Chains A and B, each alone.
Chain A
């Protein structure tokens, strides 16, 4: 980064090398406001990830996407495959939130919340702890294999592998009960597929956070490529104030910059050294920038030392950089906010009005009707009752919509276990005098112990032609 390098121009007859090998990036350690914020985010998010898996609620794991049993426990709520709507809504809300926050404040997600960032940060901490600070790490990598190097690298690998394995285990623990999983590992009785997923997720963590790091953001992440579509001139970005910084150049402390014909940038390259993706923010906004704010922290420290005001690199907007007003409230934000409120509202409404019971009524296809004892007409149905509650219920069935209509089978109450589907044959009968023709009727199914759980399903009752 000292002097401009001459680039080799390939001979016209040779194909240009499309891909240069990625240079290993040694991010320099940094402390400051935004680093502090990210440390907090790492501790909170990873604390939640590793911790919540062990929480219990009402006799079951509090958060468990129980795939083997095909039901999701989310604290008090139990969702079944029939509740797929909620998952869809949740995904829509997640996408809209991403749009909203990206338009508002740029890549907040990338800098503070993305698992890639969070785990990379953790792995870098381990690296700093075992191999030392940036300069030491670079020296260690260049140097020969000494006992010291072997010791430090081994220590790092042991910690990385342990952490990655624990991460894989915790991840799978959200899909199969974590205590059972732990017991299965302890006595080596874990099934092949659980082993496979633990291993795959552990390996992904190890590879992504230990080695791929910023390359995931640069080459693999689709969001990094399309996030700019949500940007406008009022979006918060991390930017170098070119007008203030240029012309850049080294100077003695206390030099009056303007008198010396210089801007405020002393070209110390600290902003480049701390960058986890290895870019130079002074080249302007780049899609490699994950908006972590490390360069702001680095530059603020330098500005403090130089006695210049902070903020040569800062969170700003394109409008602000060009001395124009920034509008937080703007049509784009209103549209995202409206969509987000709508989707959130629909989700909350449907969750609060959710009845954990489904009734399907299927008419018997074999016979339209049957005469019983010569005075009554009977129709046969199959009831499909799905109990979506997390406890068993007994239900009462009440027909309506026709005078004299009675339930002759099954015997009430009908008991359905939690999370089960029961197919129950049912028969309805009505006096012959009123049965002629086709009648629109309805069946109401009510839980005996919880009248709130009630569903209503329309069907038909068919009698002899009038």
Chain B
């Protein structure tokens, strides 16, 4: 595909959008897998009946949805941290010399 320089948006803005995608998308996939495995073993109704009072009044559907969102948020935090570490990485200066401008 050809890249048309006139059409490229200023890099900063574009990159932000891409980063949001890179945070939300892999964590969404991870959350799908995580929810599947977790809720295959754990009935959300069990959290309501035997869990801490935090979960009182929670029905199954709400349990599934909140579980999914919980995994998503945790995954997103991990992705975001990865992106942050990648974006803020500075290569070590290996040579002695004047400060770059």
Complex contact A17–B60 (CB within 8 A): no
Q: Is A87 an interface residue (CB 8 A)?
A: yes
In the complex, A80→B60 CA distance in Å?
A: 15
The smallest C-beta distance from B55 to any residue of chain A, in angstroms, reads: 15
Given A19-B15, A19-B18, A67-B60: A278 and B5 within 8 A (CB)? no
How distant is A27 from chain B, measured CB to nearest CB, in Å?
13
Separation in Å of the A59 CB from the closest CB of chain B?
22
Contacts A193-B61, A197-B65 known; A15 to B2 CB distance under 8 Å?
A: no
Chain B residue with Cβ nearest A176: B61
Residue A81 interfacial (CB < 8 Å) = yes
Q: B15 to A20, Cβ gap below 8 A?
A: no
What separation, in Å, do the CA atoms of A16 and B39 have in the docked complex? 45
**Contact code string A237-278 (vs B, CB < 8 Å = 1, else 0):** 000000000000000000000000000000000000000001
Stretch at the interface among B6-14, B74-82, B90-98: B6-14
1/0 per residue, CB under 8 A from B, across A102-133: the answer is: 00000000000000000000000000000000
Chain A 189-234 residues near chain B, CB threshold 8 A: 191-194, 196-197, 219-220, 222
Cα A194 to Cα B43 in complex, Å, equals 18
Our pick among A18, A67, A191, A197 for the contact of B15 (Cβ within 8 Å) is A18
Interface status of B21 (Cβ within 8 A of chain A): yes
Residue from the list A13, A193, A279 in contact with B1, Cβ < 8 A:
A279
Task: Find chain A residues with CB under 8 A from B1 CB.
Answer: 23, 278-280, 288
Chain B window 1-45, contacts with chain A (Cβ cutoff 8 Å), 1 for yes, 0 for no: 111110111110011001001000100010000000001110100
Q: Is A70 in contact with chain B by the CB < 8 A criterion?
A: yes
Q: Report how far A17 CA is from B10 CA in the complex, Å.
A: 8
Is A323 an interface residue when CB atoms closer than 8 A count as contact?
A: no
| Inter-subunit contact A7/B5 (CB<8 Å) | yes
Question: A18 with B5: in contact, given A68-B60, A81-B40 (CB under 8 Å)?
Answer: no
Report the Cα distance A176→B4, complex, angstroms: 48
Query: Is the Cβ of A67 less than 8 Å from the Cβ of B61?
Result: yes
A19 to B1, CA, bound (A): 13
Chain A contact surface mostly: loop
Taken together as a complex, chains A and B put the C-alpha atoms of A15 and B12 apart, in Å, by 10
Q: Say if the beta carbon of B56 comes within 8 Å of chain A.
A: no
Residues of A within 8 A of B11 (CB): 15-19
Q: Residue B14 contacts which of A5, A21, A194, A222 (CB distance < 8 angstroms)?
A: A21
Count of chain A residues with Cβ under 8 Å from any Cβ of B?
33
Would you give the shortest CB distance from B70 to chain A, in whole angstroms? 14
* B2/A84 in contact, CB under 8 A: no
A107 to B18, CA, bound (A): 26
> Which partner residue on chain A sits nearest B45 by CB separation?
A70
Whether A196 touches B65, Cβ cut-off 8 Å, given contacts A17-B8, A20-B8, is yes
| Residue numbers in A under 8 Å from B40 (CB-CB) | 81, 84, 87
CB contacts under 8 Å to B, within A160-214, are 176, 191-194, 196-197
B37's nearest neighbour on chain A, judged by CB, is A84
Closest-CB distance, A141 to chain B (whole angstroms): 14
B40 to chain A, nearest CB (A): 5
Picked from A7, A16, A194, the residue with its CB within 8 Å of the CB of B61 is A194
Decide if A84 touches B64 in the complex (CB within 8 Å). no
Binary interface profile of A, 9-30, with partner B (CB < 8 Å = 1, else 0)?
0000101111111010000000
Instruction: Check B4–A20 contact: CB distance below 8 A.
Output: yes
Supposing A20-B3, A20-B4, A84-B41 touch, asked if A191 and B18 sit within 8 A by C-beta, the answer is no
Which A residue sits closest to B7, measured CB to CB?
A21
A residues near B65, Cβ cutoff 8 Å: 193, 196-197
The answer to whether B62 touches A193, judged by C-beta atoms less than 8 angstroms apart, is yes
- CB nearest to B60 among chain A residues: A68
Chain B residue at smallest Cβ distance from A196? B65
Judge whether A70 and B43 touch: CB under 8 Å. yes
Assembled-state Cα–Cα distance A84/B43 (Å)? 13
Kindly state the separation between the CA atoms of A196 and B9 in the bound complex, as whole angstroms.
33
Does A76 interact with chain B (Cβ within 8 Å)? no
Cβ of A191: which chain B residues have Cβ within 8 Å of it?
A: 61
Q: Name the distance in Å between B7's Cβ and chain A's nearest Cβ.
A: 5
Q: Which residues of B contact A (CB under 8 A)?
A: 1-5, 7-11, 14-15, 18, 21, 25, 29, 39-41, 43, 59-62, 64-65, 101
Known contacts A17-B11, A21-B9; 15 further A-B pairs (Cβ under 8 A)? A13-B101, A16-B11, A19-B14, A19-B18, A20-B3, A20-B8, A21-B7, A21-B14, A23-B1, A23-B7, A67-B39, A70-B43, A192-B62, A193-B65, A288-B1
Give me the interface of A with B, judged by CB distance under 8 Å: 1, 5, 7-8, 13, 15-21, 23, 67-68, 70, 81, 84, 87, 176, 191-194, 196-197, 219-220, 222, 278-280, 288
**A-B pairs with lowest CB-CB distance, top 8:** A17-B11, A20-B8, A193-B61, A193-B65, A19-B14, A20-B3, A8-B5, A84-B40
List 10 A–B pairs whose Cβ atoms lie within 8 Å, in order of A's numbering. A5-B2, A8-B5, A17-B11, A17-B14, A21-B9, A68-B60, A193-B61, A193-B65, A197-B65, A280-B1
